[in-house]
Chains A and B, each alone.
Chain A
Amino acid sequence: MMTRRSIEAVAIGASAGGVEAACILLDALPAGFAPALVLVLHLPPTRSTTLPQLFARHSALPVKEAEDKELLCGGTVYLAPPDYHLLIEPDKRFALSADEPHHFSRPSIDVLFDSAAYAYRDRLLAAVLTGASSDGAAGLATVRAMGGLAWVQDPADADTSIMPGAALAQAGADRVLSLADMAAALAKIEQPMHR
């Protein structure tokens, strides 16, 4: 069962409707939430600059924009900076990249998921939420193949169902959850046994 393994990092990708969805998840997390939580949202750069402050109001955890070569720290919410891809290095530090947009997006969810899958293997939980893109589907498949857990928002529950639908079609999922159920399940993630 999922609660038996220790999750060190949670990676979440969302597009259209994603800000509201992310707020619902963040609202549910307790101050003792142990994993690092990394969020990629597709947004125009002008909007994303105010996001850390917005999310901080919805979170008992510290919220910040991820910095290049910063070591991921448990119990912290990190946001991908606008107009850069966000990756995680094998030594669990962030790396930014200005490579071409992927699925018309920079940051891209696939790029985060793929690198996180290599860094965290079976200690990663990745979730795809609402959106009108297919970004995240290939990355979620990598996460599962590398031993990580995959959650997908129930397309029927999503503001925009295309992205969770694409993720389910390409990668499948360990759990398909409404946002409310996902928030409750996230809040119950146990303390990691290592680190």
Chain B
Amino acid sequence: MTGADPDFDIELKLLLEGVYLKYQHDFRQYSVASLRRRMRLAMERFRCSTLSQLQDRVLHEPEVFAQMLRYFTVQVSEMFRDPAYFRAVREHVVPALLTYPSCKLWIAGCSTGEEVWSLAILLEEEGLLDRTTMYATDINQEALKVAEGGVYELDRMAKFSANYHAAGGKGSLSDYFSTAYGNAMFQQRLKRKIVFADHSLSTDSVFSETHFVSCRNVLIYFNQALQDRAIGLFHDSLVHRGFLGLGAKESLRLTAYADRFRQAMPGERIYQRIG
């Protein structure tokens, strides 16, 4: 979607302000360039020729706003995405987590849950799942429902399975799901330690002490002020020497918390709280 409208950003600002005032969902510090693109997709979907027309519907039809959440937030994910990350978690983070009698893991911005189930499988294989509580949070209730269901299209499994093996998986991914009607349903026993919850990195606060926060390809959609807020939450939630895992192209370098963490290992975006 492309299109030239010199005043688009004015309408975007008004829409975000309206959404915040009406629904208390705060996207005002999201990346403008990404939102511009996704709002044009939403305009197409709802057949609006201007963003102001879409704003009218969003403010007066709550069901339209409910559908808009999938345009405000990204829902592209796959299991064991960036296998090297999961290998690093397995080899470097898990041994440290095993030294605690119990541990808490927070997957922030979990969307439809592919990473949540990936980490549950990884922890199960490492004998850590039963002493772990996993918090899987997102602002999108619909996405959280999908995450909690653990049902994904069967034709995605070839890719997921290849990732799983590249990530150092100890068995076969198919050990963990059953198939029916073109879907793969992950074993519900894997979610016995997972709490799915509505939480906003824009407006909510810390809810628990944690030992490992995984938040990948979420911060890139925030501006610097909101990145700092989110990392501040992670920092305050993490125990001393707790781990923070980010996306392959995310770093703390340009944030206010650069000196409060150290890179836990070269090459991977896994940090450890030091201050």
Contacts and interface: CB of A to CB of B under 8 A. Distances in A.
A39 interface: no
B4 to A, nearest CB: 3
Nearest to A144: B4
A139 B217 CA distance: 24
A90 B32 contact: yes
Interface string B184-222: 000000000000000000000000000000000101110
B249 A100 contact: no
Given A97-B221, A117-B4, A88 B254 contact: no
B26 interface: no
B8 interface: yes
B91 to A, nearest CB: 21
A8 interface: no
Given A67-B251, A99-B74, A142 B34 contact: no
A188 interface: no
A113 B36 CA distance: 13
Contacts of A93: 224
B33 A95 contact: yes
Interface in B1-41: 2-4, 6, 8-9, 31-34, 36-38
A5 B221 CA distance: 33
Interface residues of B, number: 29
Tell me what chain A mostly uses at the interface: helix, strand, loop, or mixed.
Answer: mixed
Interface string A107-150: 00011011101110100000000000000001101100110000
B223 interface: yes
Contacts of B236: none
A98 interface: yes
Interface residues of A, number: 33
A83 B221 CA distance: 15
A81 interface: yes
A129 B152 CA distance: 39
A89 B254 contact: no
A84 interface: yes
B254 A87 contact: no
Given A68-B250, A69-B254, A98 B217 contact: yes
Q: Tell which of A67, A96, A100, A119 has the most Cβ of chain B within 10 Å.
A: A96
B220 A96 contact: yes
A97 B34 CA distance: 7
Nearest to B4: A145
A87 B223 CA distance: 13
B4 A97 contact: no
Interface in B234-254: 247-251, 253-254
Q: Tell which of A90, A111, A118, A138 has the most Cβ of chain B within 10 Å.
A: A118
Q: Tell which of B37, B227, B253 has the most Cβ of chain A within 10 Å.
A: B37
Q: Tell which of B219, B220, B221, B227 has the most Cβ of chain A within 10 Å.
A: B220
Given A68-B220, A69-B227, A70-B254, A138 B34 contact: no
Contacts of A100: 76
Given A89-B32, A89-B33, A138 B2 contact: yes
15 contacts: A67-B254, A68-B249, A69-B224, A96-B220, A97-B74, A97-B221, A98-B74, A98-B217, A99-B38, A114-B36, A114-B37, A121-B6, A139-B2, A142-B3, A146-B4
Given A67-B253, A87-B33, A95-B33, 18 more contacts: A69-B224, A70-B254, A81-B249, A87-B31, A89-B31, A89-B33, A90-B9, A93-B224, A97-B74, A97-B221, A98-B217, A99-B76, A115-B33, A118-B8, A118-B9, A118-B33, A119-B33, A145-B4
